[in-house]
Amino acid sequence: MPPSKPKPSEIAAEAKRTYIPYIRQNFSEIWPSTSFLCYSESMCAQPSGHLDRQARFAFYDDDPVDLALKWNAGEKKGNRSCDYAGKR
């Protein structure tokens, strides 16, 4: 029997417990925590001036748990492509 699909709350709890502290501890100088709240389409978020690298983003129209499982399966096979059907 295949393993059951993890609940989104379990994935969020694991990220909060494991990945977020790891990123903060090891990469906070390179990627400081920054967020922007844009109230409308006419307002543009201004990036921080102290970052010398640009982050790359992709937006997916897919269930977050399904996407994480697909992404993980692709990395295990050595396929680092992010070209899933839900990508916009």
As a whole number of angstroms, the distance between CA 84 and CA 22 comes to 27
Q: State the average pLDDT over residues 44-60.
A: 63
Q: What is the pLDDT of residues 71-88, one digit of tens each?
A: 888 777 665 444 444 444
| Residues 6 or more apart in contact with residue 63 via CB below 8 angstroms | none
Q: Alpha helix locations (H) across the chain?
A: 8-14, 20-27, 64-76
CA–CA dist 83, 55 (Å, integer): 18
The proportion of the chain whose per-residue pLDDT surpasses 90, expressed as a percent, equals 0
Q: Is the pLDDT of residue 26 over 60?
A: yes
> Whole-prediction pTM value?
0.35
How confident is the model at residue 5, as a pLDDT?
A: 86
Cα separation, 47 vs 59, in Å, equals 18
pLDDT at 33 over 60: yes
Beta strands in 1-88 (DSSP E): none
Q: Specify the amino acid at residue 6.
A: P
